[in-house]
Homo-oligomer: A and B are copies of this chain.
Amino acid sequence: MSITVVGSLAFDAVKTPFGERERMLGGAATHFALAASFFDEVRVVGPVGDDFGAEEMAILATRGTDTDDVEQVAGGKTFFWKGEYGWDLNSRETLDTQLNVFETFQPSLSRASQESETLFLANIQPGLQLGVLEQCEAARFTAVDSMNLWIEIAKEELLAVIGRVDCVILNDAELRQLTEAPNLVTAARQVLRLGPSVVVAKQGEYGAALVTADSFFALPAFPLETVVDPTGAGDSFAGGFVGYVAAHLDEGLTDDVLRRAMVYGTAVASHNVEEFGTERVARLERDEVEERARAIKEITHFEFENAKENV
């Protein structure tokens, strides 16, 4: 089975209290692909410029990710984002955004990418996401990410996308903004009524919550003393989550599969933030992911005194 991800491939300039990088590989599709590649075959769709070289392409292809649908635009420049994080890494300021090749991007998927069983629409303009959905009608599991900008300026299109996917992955502030519901559970249930069967609320340093029609699950982020760069953490989480679901599609979207997917998403994301950009996850080993997943069990597990009370 395979996963197609459509989204940004970028160069990032990032400054955190722990250092800076003037130009490093980034982008939602990049972080997603690196994370999902632990679990399933990944095909990346997105535009880059002439400045996107063999070195970047090699990182993108880590663990066998297929880059045939990475569109190199002649004479174009790769999407660029520059940001700086505050002292506790919970706030960040965007200093520069250059869309470059994204200004004219129209996703055109190869047949192989269209035929993936799983599709992840990373955060891009909802109109483009709709176009991708139309090319991937055979996908058995579809998930979407978005951002506050699209909720503000393209809400109708975003709602059309949400109405056609199985899973919505947004941060909790975005879920509240989208639904105008101040309560997170209410907001998630409103999104479920639009069509999806799974809503994931990303909560940054506090972890993530999973809401389905008949279940709620919450998982903290893995506690780390060394957090160097949160850039891409949400996309790494989505990659681990969607990747695990994709690899277990034949079991269906059971509560067990979805909860384990939350754990693996959290496990990969917790490694992502330990170094700048893709540096840590590019050389991460599957064993380390498993080890982190077991550590997540350890920090969340409890038993009641009376064994009969344990579910």
Contacts and interface: CB of A to CB of B under 8 A. Distances in A.
Interface of A: 17, 87-89, 176, 182-186, 189, 203, 205-207, 209, 216-220, 223-225, 227, 256, 259-260, 262-263, 290, 293-294, 297-305, 309-311
Nearest to A208: B220
Contacts of A17: 182
A189 B225 CA distance: 10
A259 B223 CA distance: 16
B259 A217 contact: no
A180 to B, nearest CB: 10
Contacts of A227: 183
A176 to B, nearest CB: 6
A283 to B, nearest CB: 23
| Ranked 10 nearest A-B pairs via Cβ | A218-B220, A206-B206, A88-B182, A259-B302, A185-B223, A185-B225, A87-B182, A216-B223, A216-B299, A297-B311
A191 to B, nearest CB: 14
**Copy number of this protein in the oligomer?**
2
A222 to B, nearest CB: 9
A63 B156 CA distance: 54
Contacts of A263: 302
Nearest to A261: B302
A308 to B, nearest CB: 11
Given A88-B176, A206-B203, A304-B293, A299 B182 contact: no
B225 A183 contact: yes
B260 A304 contact: yes
A90 B41 CA distance: 41
B298 A311 contact: yes
Contacts of A303: 256, 260
